Copies of this chain bind each other. A is one copy, B any other.
Amino acid sequence: MATITGNQLIGFEEHQGIGITFNAVNAATGEKLPVDFFDTTEDQLEAAMQKASQAFSVYKKKSPEQKALFLEQIAAEIEALGEELIEICQQETALPEQRLLGERGRTCNQLRLFASVVREGSWVGARIDTAQPERKPIPKSDIRLMHIPLGPVAVFGASNFPLAFSVAGGDTASALAAGCPVIVKGHPAHPNTSELVGKAMLEAAQKCNMPDGIFSLLQGKAYETSIKLVTHPIIKAVGFTGSYKGGKTLYNAVQKREVPIPVYAEMGSTNPVFILPEAMKKRGEAIAQGLAGSVTLGVGQFCTNPGLVLFQDIASQTSEFSVTLSQAIENHAGGTMLTNDIYNAYNNGTEVLEKTDGVKLSSKSKVASNASPMIFETDVDTLLKQPIISQEVFGPSTVIVKGNTKEALLKAAEELEGHLTVTIHADGSDIVEYAELFEILREKAGRIILNGFPTGVEVCPSMMHGGPYPATTDSRSTSVGTLAIMRFARPMSFQDFPQELLPDELKTDNPLGIMRMVNGELKR
């Protein structure tokens, strides 16, 4: 058993906590867990910063192979934590064992995926334009471009993915892959889990001879620490997954910096699902089953949870859908949410919906003892008048929005804000009939799904997990999938450098064998 200390992990040093304490809570029972954790002091924050800055100058010179081995070693060390990690994480989050085993697998797969991206090496987007000394009127220089790391990155762990979007999650993996040291602010809902994973990372760093400061883990509940972290001049980018309020607060704080830096805040969304008439008619029952599963999956605690479902109100065609959905929700056992705060927020959010004029609660779990799945119902006119309806309620509820006409649905689509995903269920004639809807929705999300459900975010090269504001603060970026590495790099040109001074990625004989654009042509 690893010993959990409640210490801050400042590079390879542990700093004992001082000052204000907090404890994790057993999410299922409400009991305090034994280890005392502490807010980060200013000195601790500064120590982590100085170490990260020093580490950057060493880490950026490590070869792609060395970085890849480090990422793989982190995965191995997390796996080596064994059952203890799963048990502790289960205590802190009330997430079921199977889910956590899956999430641990995903976390380690992500690390290995980024290792493979770094090892393969083409991600740097190398471009070479060779010299033309004879060109008139001006000779052409030799110019070579590649992406280089930005510098130390601040990452905020998410409450709902204690492994895959936390200490060693996607933001950390992609930042390390890009060549950036990482300072994680652990989520205070699962500090024990964070410490275990943080120590595994540091163990990997030691074994791989990585510099002190390549990684630090700061724990704490104080809002000020987060603000100091993102406004510190050493930090060159921020990765965040969480609520709109949390993300926007960090974003606003960063706007006050003298030197601007990118903030990649993934703040969730309501992920609208459109069900078109023919699909509704043909597959109403199946769609309702799938939707109920998507709404209640993980007690609705996913940023891709579908919170709005829109369709045309044609009674003869929607009854099977409605009956099936109601039954599925009424018979769903609900579940324990990640924290008491999240549970309270869910209850508040659903109460607000219930009290909103023109919105009614149409079904609710009859068997749930804790967070109850719920379906609300309203119409397009009400939705357009009351924007609160389209705001995320984190948990297992969704709002059915009925439109009298196709035009009403198009109007509702036009008025949507940015979302991580939009989903369309369409069969046969729907595709032609609603071509305009497809066009409109393309502008509203980062991922558009046909005849599926938004939950379940595949970690792969083609995944875009992001979207127009307010889903994220930077629609040009994804926080899942291999493209996430580009968030932490910038292009840099080398002009007239001799071979021996060029990075391997840009040497003429292409020692790394990467894909490059040479005199305009992509080749290895």
Binding site for B on A (CB under 8 A): 57, 102, 122, 125, 127-129, 137-138, 140-141, 143-145, 148, 150-151, 251, 255, 259-260, 262, 431, 438-439, 442-443, 445-452, 456, 458, 460-464, 466, 468-470, 473-478, 483, 489-498, 501, 515, 517, 520, 522
| Contact between chains at B493 and A446 (CB < 8 Å) | yes
Q: How far apart are the CA atoms of A476 and B492 in the complex, in Å?
A: 9
Q: A145-B464, A259-B468, A260-B474 given. 4 additional CB < 8 A pairs?
A: A143-B463, A446-B491, A446-B493, A475-B490
Q: A492 contacts which of B102, B141, B446 (Cβ < 8 Å)?
A: B446
Q: Contacts A143-B462, A431-B501, A517-B461: A494 and B456 contacting too (C-beta < 8 A)?
A: no
Q: A129 contacts which of B127, B461, B498, B517 (Cβ < 8 Å)?
A: B461
What distance in Å separates the Cβ of A391 from its nearest Cβ neighbour in chain B? 15
What distance in Å separates the Cβ of A27 from its nearest Cβ neighbour in chain B? 24
| Contact between chains at A449 and B520 (CB < 8 Å) | no
Closest Cβ neighbor of A125 among chain B residues: B483
| Contact between chains at B462 and A478 (CB < 8 Å) | no
On chain B, the residues within 8 Å of A495 by CB distance are 447-450, 452
Q: How far apart are the CA atoms of A439 and B60 in the complex, in Å?
A: 10
What distance in Å separates the Cβ of A427 from its nearest Cβ neighbour in chain B? 11
On chain B, the residues within 8 Å of A150 by CB distance are 475-476
| Contact between chains at B469 and A259 (CB < 8 Å) | yes
Q: How far apart are the CA atoms of A452 and B259 in the complex, in Å?
A: 29
| Contact between chains at A450 and B501 (CB < 8 Å) | yes
Q: How far apart are the CA atoms of A143 and B447 in the complex, in Å?
A: 9
Q: Name 17 interchain pairs, CB-CB below 8 A, sorted by A.
A: A102-B137, A128-B462, A129-B463, A143-B458, A144-B462, A150-B475, A150-B476, A259-B470, A262-B474, A446-B493, A449-B495, A450-B495, A450-B501, A461-B517, A463-B493, A466-B491, A522-B522
Closest Cβ neighbor of A447 among chain B residues: B493
Closest Cβ neighbor of A520 among chain B residues: B461
Q: A496 contacts which of B125, B439, B452, B492 (Cβ < 8 Å)?
A: B452
Closest Cβ neighbor of A417 among chain B residues: B259
Q: How far apart are the CA atoms of A461 and B491 in the complex, in Å?
A: 11
What distance in Å separates the Cβ of A293 from its nearest Cβ neighbour in chain B? 12
Closest Cβ neighbor of A102 among chain B residues: B137
Q: How many copies does the complex hold?
A: 2
Q: How far apart are the CA atoms of A493 and B452 in the complex, in Å?
A: 14
On chain B, the residues within 8 Å of A490 by CB distance are 446, 468, 475-476
What distance in Å separates the Cβ of A26 from its nearest Cβ neighbour in chain B? 28
Q: How far apart are the CA atoms of A140 and B129 in the complex, in Å?
A: 40
| Contact between chains at A522 and B122 (CB < 8 Å) | yes
On chain B, the residues within 8 Å of A456 by CB distance are 138, 141
On chain B, the residues within 8 Å of A489 by CB distance are 476
The 9 closest A-B pairs by CB, nearest first: A464-B493, A127-B462, A145-B462, A447-B493, A449-B495, A143-B462, A129-B460, A129-B462, A464-B491
Closest Cβ neighbor of A488 among chain B residues: B476
Q: How far apart are the CA atoms of A438 and B431 in the complex, in Å?
A: 57
On chain B, the residues within 8 Å of A262 by CB distance are 474, 476
Q: How far apart are the CA atoms of A226 and B114 in the complex, in Å?
A: 42
Q: How far apart are the CA atoms of A72 and B405 in the complex, in Å?
A: 44
Q: A439 contacts which of B57, B145, B151, B474 (Cβ < 8 Å)?
A: B57
Q: How far apart are the CA atoms of A126 and B137 in the complex, in Å?
A: 38
On chain B, the residues within 8 Å of A148 by CB distance are 442
| Contact between chains at A491 and B476 (CB < 8 Å) | yes
What distance in Å separates the Cβ of A398 from its nearest Cβ neighbour in chain B? 19
| Residue among A57, A128, A460, A491 facing the most chain B CB atoms (10 A cut-off) | A491
Q: A461 contacts which of B127, B458, B466 (Cβ < 8 Å)?
A: B127
On chain B, the residues within 8 Å of A497 by CB distance are 448, 450
Q: How far apart are the CA atoms of A447 and B129 in the complex, in Å?
A: 14
| Contact between chains at B492 and A442 (CB < 8 Å) | yes
What distance in Å separates the Cβ of A52 from its nearest Cβ neighbour in chain B? 14
On chain B, the residues within 8 Å of A447 by CB distance are 492-495
Q: How far apart are the CA atoms of A124 and B439 in the complex, in Å?
A: 18
| Contact between chains at A458 and B496 (CB < 8 Å) | no
Closest Cβ neighbor of A448 among chain B residues: B494
On chain B, the residues within 8 Å of A473 by CB distance are 260
Closest Cβ neighbor of A497 among chain B residues: B450
On chain B, the residues within 8 Å of A151 by CB distance are 443
